[in-house]
Amino acid sequence: MKDNMEGRKLVDQMDVKFQTRDVQVYYGDTHAIKDVNVDILDKTVTAFIGPSGCGKSTFLRSLNRMNDTIPIARVEGKILLDGEDIYDPKVDPVQLRAKVGMVFQKPNPFPKSIYDNIAYGPRIHGLARNKAELDDIVEHSLRRGALWDEVKDRLQEPGTGLSGGQQQRLCIARAVATEPEVLLMDEPCSALDPIATAQVEELIDELKQNFSVVIVTHSMQQAARVSQKTAFFHLGNLVEYGDTDQIFTNPVDPRTESYITGRIG
């Protein structure tokens, strides 16, 4: 297939962060993800699109083993991060999640101050040697989250007091603070208004300079705006994966085309 050929070419040129091979995810008796093979690149925004219930969020959550918290979920196949199998028994999911951060659909700031929200990750992972370093990390992360100017005078106020868009940027800054290598975002803008969405999208664009970003989104416009690579999921299958421009202008699979043009979804 043509897009696979292109993908392989890209692999030679750029760093591959995640490689997944024949990944299956089961929820109890439901086979939610079937045979997914995908290479996710470093310093790139990859979008997962597809109709609701297609398994894109499930697949995203299996990339940092968030599915472990659901007792009935089961993952088979290989998911390699920098060539290491993240489901290997030797791997501690806690360490994995420090490397692969996650931002959720609804902003979920902890009921703590803005400062403590950001400092939470660095504290549990022991990233700062002293208060000054922690202050640095907090400031740095809030700047990366494009929130510093708005909150620098009220770092001790509760994070739950911010507006929805600010809360979501706080959550992104919080994820960035642990210095992850990959950032997974599960429909990060679905609970936000258009202005806040625009701010977050701008932020995602900035983040790709340092991270590999994977974003699940319902909105094809958003996928087209922020991502370089797009994967289209349908009924648990990865239907098509390639450059975003190609997927949106010249899809190979008829199902992709139907979805893009709004016939299924």
Partner 1 sequence: MSPLWLLILILVLAIAGFAIGRTRAMASVDDHRKLHSRPNYYGTNVAMLAFAPAALLLAVWVVAQPIVINASVSHLIPETSYEDAGALNLIMSDVKRVAEGLDVAVAQGALSAEEARSIRTEFTDVRARLGEVGVALGANVDRDVLRAAQAYRARAATGTWFMTAAVLIVALAGFFFAIREARGDFRARNRVENGILTLLITAASIAILTTLGIVLSLLFNTIEFFRLYPALDFFTRLEWAPSFSGRGGASALGILPLLWGTFYISIVALLVATPIGLFAAIYLSEYASKRVRAFAKPLLEVLAGIPTIVYGLFALLTVGPLLVSVFGNGGLLGVDWMGGGRAVMTAGITMGVMLIPFVSSLSDDIINAVPQAMRDGSYGLGATQSETVRQVVLPAALPGIVGAVLLAASRAIGETMIVVLGAGAAARMSLNPFEAMTTVTAKIVSQLTGDSDFASPEALVAFALGITLFVVTLGLNVLALYIVRKYREQYE
Partner 2 sequence: MTDATHGTAEPAEPRRRKASLYASDAHTRRRNAAEKRFRAYGIAAIAIGLFFLLVLLVTIVRNGTPAFTQTFVTIEVALPADKLDKSGNRDIEEMKKVSTFGYAPLVDDALAEALAQAGIETPFANAKDLRQIVSASVAAQVRDAVLADPALVGTSHEFRLLAASRVDGYMKGRVTRESVARDKNISAEHLDIVDQMIAAGLVERRFNPGFVFGADASESRPESAGIGVSMLGSFFMMLVVLALALPIGVAASIYLEEFATQNRFTDLIEVNISNLAAVPSIVFGILGLAVFIQFAHLPSSAPIVGGLVLTLMTLPTIIISTRASLKAVPPSIREAALGVGASKMQTVFHHVLPLAMPGILTGTIIGLAQALGETAPLLLIGMVGFIASNAPASFADGFLAPNSAMPAQIYEWAKRADPAYYERAWGGIIILLVFLMVMNIIAIILRRRFERRW
CB of 108 to partner 2, least distance (A): 22
For 84, other C-beta atoms within 10 Å of its C-beta total: 11
Q: Give the binding site for partner 2 (CB under 8 A).
A: 81-82, 84, 86, 88, 90-92, 94-96, 99, 124-127, 137, 140-149, 179, 181, 202-203, 206, 209-210
Radius of gyration from C-alpha coordinates of the chain: 18
Distance CA 198, CA 175 (A): 19
Tokens 């979804």 correspond to 265
Interface pick for partner 1 out of 33, 38, 41, 66 (rule CB under 8 A): 66
Q: Does 194 bind partner 1 (CB under 8 A)?
A: no
Interface pick for partner 1 out of 26, 87, 104, 148 (rule CB under 8 A): 104
CB of 241 to partner 1, least distance (A): 24
Strand order in the sheet with 182-186: 84-85, 73-81, 16-27, 30-41, 237-243, 229-234, 45-49, 212-216, 182-186, 100-103
Interface pick for partner 1 out of 1, 14, 94, 235 (rule CB under 8 A): 94
Q: Which amino acid is at 111?
A: P
Q: Does 264 bind partner 1 (CB under 8 A)?
A: no
Nearer to partner 1, 50 or 180 (CB): 180
**Residue whose C-alpha is closest to residue 167's, from 102, 108, 111, 215:** 108
Distance CA 176, CA 114 (A): 14
Nearer to partner 2, 10 or 96 (CB): 96
Enumerate residues 6+ apart whose C-beta is below 8 A from 59: 23, 25, 33, 36, 48, 233
Interface pick for partner 1 out of 56, 174, 234, 255 (rule CB under 8 A): 174
Q: Does 140 bind partner 1 (CB under 8 A)?
A: no
Q: Does 113 bind partner 1 (CB under 8 A)?
A: no
Nearer to partner 2, 200 or 260 (CB): 200
Q: Does 101 bind partner 1 (CB under 8 A)?
A: yes
Instruction: Categorise residue 82: left if φ over 0, alpha if ψ from -120 to 50, beta otherwise.
Output: left
Nearer to partner 2, 74 or 125 (CB): 125
Q: Is 210 buried (19+), middle (13-18) or exposed (0-12) by CB count in 10 A?
A: middle
CB of 15 to partner 2, least distance (A): 13
Distance CA 11, CA 61 (A): 24
Q: How many residues bind partner 1 (CB under 8 A)?
A: 29
Nearer to partner 2, 181 or 253 (CB): 181
Which residues are near partner 1 by CB under 8 A? Answer: 64, 66, 69, 71, 94-99, 101-104, 106, 108-112, 120-121, 124-125, 171, 174-175, 178, 184
